[in-house]
Structure 1
Amino acid sequence: MKVNFLENCQQGIFGNKQRRFVFLRTKKRTEHCGSPCPICQQSDIGILDGQCAVCRYCSKLNRCVFQFCLACQRKWPQHASTTKSCMLPNCALRAALLSDTRISDPESSVRGCPYCRACPGCHALLTHNGEGCPNIVCPNCNQEFCFRCLRLECYDNEYDDYDDYDQDDPEPELCVIVDNTEILQHLGL
């Protein structure tokens, strides 16, 4: 019979000695993990299997094992197997939007932007090809938006055609690169 140490630790079946064994077991697999704990931001985490990780600091502080998904950075479902992939809804979408990967081409109009964006219209995952103006059109819903600031209308970049700009309108907001935090909140992720 296979014993699940983490479940037994959470239920209080094992004491400190057995819990220490679990943490030492996961300690070997922490060197190459760049994802900190989503709660405490500490990097003292252990990777169990696949996408499941344990934060040693939060586990010690709360006196119960805290598990989370390395990809989507959300709490691992309590009774889900740690040997399977994350079963939380929209894990891959959230992981892509949380990614630190940025467009680095110095010639690109979207240099410094996150590599992936969610369309403000249909939430399809998109990226910019790096050529031309920062505005893109979603192939899924045909929504046009600025890849830099995520606004539907953006006049404050050197690539836009100012012929459509009405001088009587209030001055447009500056086009600054935003991260994906707002769209994650909007999607409830």
Structure 2
Amino acid sequence: MGNALSRKLKEKSKKKPRTIVPPKAVEPDTFNFYDIDHPYTSIDTTDSGRKRYDPDDRRLRFVDRDDEMDFECWGYDSPRAEMSCGHAVTPQSLTDWCFKQLDDGQCNFVCGNCNNQWSIQEVYKMALLTPEEAENFERKIFENAARNLLEVKRCPGCSCLVSRKDPNNLNVQCLVCAKRRGQNYAFCWQCMNEWKGPGPRSDRCDNKGCQSPLDILAQCPNIVFKDVKGVDNCPSIRACPNCGMLLGHSKRYCRSLVCTRCKTKFCFVCLSATQQCLSSAYEECPNGVAPRQTIIPMLKQKK
């Protein structure tokens, strides 16, 4: 009798603790593309509604360190867990950092400290994404991939997605509009209006208000960084030093920027490659503020 009772107690102790699945759980097939083991059973929230790790979640490696992805010093109330790269995060700081990368046009996620790339599966697991956040992540990833790899925009004539083959030609032909109208139809990649004037051109079309990139660079206001100190008189729009694509800065986080077209990482302040700026990307640039650009770099095509 005693042996039977002992066996039952051992079997009971081996059972996994009951977890609570939050409402509106995402259907399993939503994540089949990424083959993700959905972690919503680990979600807990603070009084402020912020996500926090369940300290009893044995899938995570908890560490007693600062939140190394909390670049804005929010001080999120959650145990710290270690990413594959070795840096400590909370689910909310990781979510914030990954959304920042998506807003910058990225499709992949890298650590903000060591630049090691994280897998999409790891990010989904460690960020404890809500169903709404997961849907937003997927939408932004595919939108960024379309822009970055295909140079895609919506035609103003038919709203169909159109890719641009020549990144230095603003005169873009829409085959859908041409078929519907029975004649050629072109629009300006810059001002997004029906093309006027001769083409091809790389500066502007003849539509009123279509500014050339050089005019935009010359007339844009200066930027006031929220997180970088000691930077004055820096233009708010820069041309990528490698491919010439015009880029703006969100004013938040560091002064480094990654071009959404060619993936060049450069300092928005001095326009040098990021690795050539020896100080922290949140401090004043040691090279100073580069003057407004008067030449648009041409995309370096791979041979």
Q: Which category of TM-score, normalised to the shorter sequence, fits these structures?
A: 0.3 to 0.5
TM-score (norm 1): 0.39
Greater Rg over alpha carbons, structure: 2
TM-score (norm 2): 0.26
